[in-house]
Amino acid sequence: MIFRPEKLKIKDQRMTPFIDSDELWGYLNTAPATKAQVREVIAKSLDKQRLTLAETATLINATDPDLIEEIKQGARTLKEKVYGQRIVLFAPLYIGNHCTNNCAYCGFKASNKKIKRVTLDHDDLVAQVKALENTGQKRLILVYGEHPGYDADFIAESVRTVYSVKSGPGEIRRVNINAAPMDIDGFRIIKDSKIGTYQIFQETYHRDTYAKVHLGGKKRDFDWRLTGLDRAQEAGIDDVGIGALFGLYDWRFEVLGLVRHTNHFEAVYNVGPHTISFPRIQYASELNIDQSHMVSDAEFTRLVAILRLAVPYTGLILTARESAAVRDEIMQFGVSQIDGGTNIEMGGYSKRKENEDQDIDLEQFQINDNRSLNEIMDDLIEHRYIPSFCTACYRLGRTGEHFMEFSVPGFIKRFCQPNALMTLAEYLEDYAPAETKVKGYELIREKLDEIEDESFKTTLTGKIEQIKNGTRDLYF
């Protein structure tokens, strides 16, 4: 075992609320952060061990600029040494923005009369998916407001529709979900539609703050939401994503909340969450929140680096809420997935032209990275990241892929990187303009040259040739 889940206090914590504010503040108020202690904690993470709450609090409490730099360097080293330079790409697709909740931070809140309410019908959905496929997307996350119309059957049906749409060489190979928590039967229905990850963000792990910003609807129930992904696990969905909306409460507390949530899954289900998201609050129609906990860019960078070290084998998602400059800066500290070519306007992928201003009354919030998928590909390639559309683990039933990447020696070299290169080659053949194609193949050649195992290099080179000759969807 390379990690040691903290001991359970009671025998079975399934579906038991596990957040204790006093406990988390206790760690933050007492964790020492001397140079020696911070270095010891960083070394433990680089030794591939997940950090405890107390150790995470030590990193959070380090405020000396040199120590913060060491934490960032630690996160960078972990990313480079363990994960390499792959970045997985996806796009969000909003299916419906009707909502019965009143979340103070969200443009879709029920009380917002300015917002234009839309639910994509079958034809609208097909048009969105075709438009996304035509740019090269292979992985989507479907997003829904919370509304009786968006029940488990509706969500499952939309997933099946997305998988069924093919446009030219395009197809969506993995559909993730971000939607309200369901009951166990609901999660079973959704699981049967073959989703990838089910994401639910707790928004804030601080109960009092949660009550202050969730002003109406079912989402007011903190515990129902907190235990939502436990019910998903009970229904057999073992690929789940957690998140906190940074800016609602003290970021230090939220980081510990995310680590506590991770510990809970490890202790009870023997598997951590697949991904952690850390959206920062952005401008939204009728935004109405206390702004005293807004997170600065410097704090944001710190918290991403700390999360990387605290949960070294969990995927980290950084979205287009952040500007291109912030994303470029923060990616190096261990981000594994970003969205590209993002458009969160209802129906926007088939309608809106590139670089057109956002219509905030059709959107949940404002995004700050409006670059097209190809612009993002160019940027990644230029910075020597390997853009990946890989969906192999999910399709081969290799669940716990991040954990395997991290813990199985050679897994990344044998599976992840070659699959990333093959999906990149597909993109270059089917969607890239000439200039991107030239640069993309230069990167592929560079990465092929780095492979030491000659027989594997020959196999992979052969597969890339097959892709050039028209074969698609190859993976290890």
Binding site for ligand SAM (CB under 6 A): 105-106, 143, 145-146, 178-180, 200-201, 203, 245, 279, 281-282, 284, 321, 364-365
Residue 218, Cα to own-chain centre: how many angstroms?
Answer: 24
Token pair listed for 312: 């070294």
SS3 215: coil
Strand partners, 279: none
**319 is a site residue for ligand SF4 (CB under 6 A):** no
Task: Mark the segment that binds ligand SF4 (CB under 6 A) among 20-28, 78-86, 96-104, 304-312.
Answer: 96-104
- From residue 216 to residue 245, the character string flagging contacts with ligand SF4 as x (rule: CB under 6 A) and all else as - is ---x--------------------------
> Which residue has the closest beta carbon to ligand SAM?
365
**177 is a site residue for ligand SF4 (CB under 6 A):** no
Q: How far is the CB of 29 from ligand SAM (least distance, A)?
A: 27
**402 is a site residue for ligand SF4 (CB under 6 A):** no
**280 is a site residue for ligand SF4 (CB under 6 A):** no
**Between residues 146 and 426, which has the closer beta carbon with respect to ligand SF4?**
146
Q: How far is the CB of 169 from ligand SF4 (least distance, A)?
A: 34
**24 is a site residue for ligand SF4 (CB under 6 A):** no
**Binding site partner of 365, from ligand SAM, ligand SF4, none, Cβ cut-off 5-8 A by kind:** ligand SAM
**Binding site partner of 204, from ligand SF4, ligand SAM, none, Cβ cut-off 5-8 A by kind:** none
Secondary structure (DSSP) of 100-139: S--BTT-TT-TT-SSSPP-B--HHHHHHHHHHHHTTT--E
Q: How far is the CB of 137 from ligand SAM (least distance, A)?
A: 19
The CA distances from residue 456 to 86, 240, 390, 410, 471, in Å, are 19, 33, 19, 13, 19
**Between residues 108 and 253, which has the closer beta carbon with respect to ligand SF4?**
108
Q: How far is the CB of 365 from ligand SAM (least distance, A)?
A: 3
**According to CB under 6 A, which one of 18, 94, 108, 431 is a site residue for ligand SF4?**
108
H-type alpha helices, 182-243: 184-192, 207-213, 222-226, 228-234
**321 is a site residue for ligand SF4 (CB under 6 A):** no
- From 413, 147, 403, 374, select the one nearest 273 (Cα to Cα): 403
Dist CA 89 CA 109 (whole Å): 29
Dist CA 344 CA 168 (whole Å): 24
Query: Which amino acid is it at 101?
Result: N
**99 is a site residue for ligand SF4 (CB under 6 A):** yes
Q: How far is the CB of 96 from ligand SF4 (least distance, A)?
A: 9
Dist CA 201 CA 225 (whole Å): 8
Q: How far is the CB of 198 from ligand SAM (least distance, A)?
A: 11
The CA distances from residue 52 to 147, 264, 311, 375, 398, in Å, are 38, 12, 9, 39, 27
Under a CB-based contact definition with an 8 Å cutoff, are residues 110 and 102 in contact? yes
- According to CB under 6 A, which residues from 437 to 476 bind ligand SF4? none
**103 is a site residue for ligand SF4 (CB under 6 A):** yes
Q: How far is the CB of 63 from ligand SAM (least distance, A)?
A: 27
Contacts 24+ apart (CB under 8 A), 109-116: 109/215, 109/286, 110/216, 110/217, 111/215, 111/216, 111/286, 112/285, 112/286, 114/285, 114/286, 114/361, 115/285, 115/286, 115/361, 115/362, 116/346, 116/361, 116/362
CB atoms within 10 A of CB 350: 15
Q: How far is the CB of 244 from ligand SAM (least distance, A)?
A: 8
**According to CB under 6 A, which one of 72, 79, 86, 109 is a site residue for ligand SF4?**
109
- From residue 110 to residue 149, the character string flagging contacts with ligand SF4 as x (rule: CB under 6 A) and all else as - is -----------------------------------xx---
**Between residues 101 and 193, which has the closer beta carbon with respect to ligand SF4?**
101
Dist CA 18 CA 34 (whole Å): 29
- The sign one gets for the Cα dihedral 422, 354, 361, 280 is positive
Task: Mark the segment that binds ligand SF4 (CB under 6 A) among 97-105, 255-263, 377-385, 422-430.
Answer: 97-105
